Amino acid sequence: MINLKDRDFLKLLDFTPEEIFSLVELAADLKEKKKKGIPHRYCEGKNIALIFEKTSTRTRCAFEVAGHDLGMGVTYLDPSGSQIGKKESIADTARVLAGMFDGIEYRGFEQEIVEELAKYSKVPVWNGLTNEFHPTQMLADLLTIRENFGRIKGIRLSFFGDCRYNMANSWMVTGAKCGMHITLCANRTYFPDSELVKECKAIAEQTGGSITLEEDPRAGAKDADVLYTDVWVSMGEPMEAWAERIEQMKPYQVTEELMGLASENAIFMHCLPAFHDLGTTIGRQIHEQFGLKELEVTNEVFEGPASRVFEEAENRMHTIKAVIAATLI
Ligand code: CP
Ligand code: NVA
């Protein structure tokens, strides 16, 4: 096991391929222990703080359950329940919390906020999602891919949707580091930052991976092992963004037709939450306003045999547990 004690977990650009693979292995081991009922209270007596400036179901629950399984105390600070940013700076918050806790999770807006928190914290800081990156999601997705295909390197993953935001950025970095073939598929207005593309392409050259930007959704889906999508409007973006996004992103909706172009054993993945039916308030509002019943993925694909979304969601917990354990002990 590679030693990651006292390291922050802010983005996968900061980690080597060996470190990333080793976290996935540790997660697989912890998952097996959990399934067999073997206790793994490796962090008994420690305490962690979870700061959420945006809402969450998976990430919050994953940190809480992982923390409890590891024998720790867990304190949740919700988007309105702390002084952070409003009455107390990030630098001061970091020093206060680091005096009481052994690790701090942060979900919020700009990546520079979590980087600043880490700079001023003497205990590890874990990124639970920023506008730019979602690294704990990546580990869960890698574990899910490994469980399905028995390997990560060489897997062809195509992402459909907003390629300028946290999920597409994270896939470029992760795929490059892990020697995967990543295709980001969108209208070119939604192509990622060219500096990050350049950096990831240089990494991919070293690992045998590749990064491709593609405007044609059918070409993007062809022979892929994984079709991946995310919401078209992310947390923190205004509701007014929907009209333009629907127009720009509709051709990139993951449908049975796109799944049919992918490789024979292709799977569908999504970080969740997903708009695939009318079971949500926003989904119903969009339906009333624009007449669409399903957005980034059709219900048929979401509920279909190739969908791995709930396995993926469970893996958030096992992989977050690996990050906590690896950086604290
Ligand atoms: N995928 C993910 O991060 O989900 P939550 O927003 O529910 O944490
Ligand atoms: N892009 C999405 C990811 C949610 C897990 C968001 O930031 O809202």
Phi, psi at 119, each rounded to 5° = -60, -40
Catalytic member of 43, 163, 185, 271: 271
Task: Evaluate: CB of 317 within 6 angstroms of ligand 2.
Answer: no
Instruction: Express each pLDDT in 296-305 by its tens digit.
Output: 999 999 999 9
Closest Cα to atom 6 of ligand 1: 56
Pairing of strands 267-270, 125-127: unpaired
The answer to whether 230 is a known catalytic residue is yes
Closest Cα to atom 6 of ligand 2: 234
Question: Is the pLDDT confidence value at 256 over 80?
Answer: yes
Among the bound ligands, the one closest to the CA of 137 = 1
H or E element that contains 79: none
What distance in Å separates the CA atoms of residue 63 and residue 242, rounded to the nearest whole number?
31
Looking at residue 252, its pLDDT comes to 98
Among the bound ligands, the one closest to the CA of 128 = 1
Task: Evaluate: CB of 127 within 6 angstroms of ligand 1.
Answer: no
Instruction: Express each pLDDT in 118-173 by its tens digit.
Output: 999 999 999 999 999 999 999 999 999 999 999 999 999 999 999 999 999 999 99
Mean per-residue pLDDT for 229-242? 97
What distance in Å separates the CA atoms of residue 151 and residue 129, rounded to the nearest whole number?
26
**CATH code reported for the domain at 12-133+316-328:** 3.40.50.1370
The answer to whether 137 is a known catalytic residue is yes
Whether 42 and 70 have beta carbons less than 8 Å apart is answered as yes
Task: Evaluate: CB of 129 within 6 angstroms of ligand 1.
Answer: yes
Q: Report the nearest atom of ligand 1 relative to the CA of 134.
A: 3
CATH architecture classification, 156-224+226-261+267-305? 3-Layer(aba) Sandwich (3.40)
The answer to whether 83 is a known catalytic residue is no
Looking at residue 130, its pLDDT comes to 98
Q: In angstroms, what is the span from residue 310 Cα to ligand 1's centroid?
A: 12
- Length of the chain (residues): 329
Task: Evaluate: CB of 275 within 6 angstroms of ligand 2.
Answer: no
- Joined together, the tokens standing for residue 34 give 């959990």
Question: Is the pLDDT confidence value at 85 over 90?
Answer: no
The answer to whether 40 is a known catalytic residue is no
The answer to whether 14 is a known catalytic residue is no
Instruction: Express each pLDDT in 28-80 by its tens digit.
Output: 999 999 999 999 999 999 999 999 999 999 999 999 999 999 999 999 999 88
How many CA atoms does the CB half-sphere of 32 hold within 13 Å? 7
Question: Which amino acid appears at position 50 of this protein?
Answer: L
Q: In angstroms, what is the span from residue 205 Cα to ligand 1's centroid?
A: 31
Supply the Cα-derived Rg of the chain in whole angstroms. 19
Instruction: Express each pLDDT in 191-211 by its tens digit.
Output: 999 999 999 999 999 999 999
Domains 12-133+316-328 and 156-224+226-261+267-305 share a fold: yes
Cα dihedral sign, 91-236-83-125: negative
What distance in Å separates the CA atoms of residue 110 and residue 67, rounded to the nearest whole number?
25
Whether 128 and 106 have beta carbons less than 8 Å apart is answered as yes
Instruction: Express each pLDDT in 278-287 by its tens digit.
Output: 999 999 999 9
Q: In angstroms, what is the span from residue 40 Cα to ligand 2's centroid?
A: 31
- Joined together, the tokens standing for residue 128 give 């639970």
What distance in Å separates the CA atoms of residue 272 and residue 57, rounded to the nearest whole number?
9
Q: What CA–CA distances, in Å, run from 133 to 10, 160, 163, 187?
A: 8, 16, 12, 21
Looking at residue 80, its pLDDT comes to 85
Question: Which amino acid appears at position 257 of this protein?
Answer: E
Single out the residue of 163, 145, 287 nearest to residue 224, CA to CA: 145
Instruction: Express each pLDDT in 260-274 by its tens digit.
Output: 999 999 999 999 999
What distance in Å separates the CA atoms of residue 262 and residue 229, rounded to the nearest whole number?
14
Task: Evaluate: CB of 271 within 6 angstroms of ligand 2.
Answer: yes
Name the pLDDT band for 84 (thresholds 50, 70, 90).
confident
Q: Where are the domains of the chain?
A: 12-133+316-328, 156-224+226-261+267-305
Looking at residue 145, its pLDDT comes to 99
* DSSP 8-state secondary structure symbol assigned to residue 88: B
The answer to whether 58 is a known catalytic residue is no
Question: Is the pLDDT confidence value at 82 over 80?
Answer: no
Closest Cα to atom 4 of ligand 1: 58
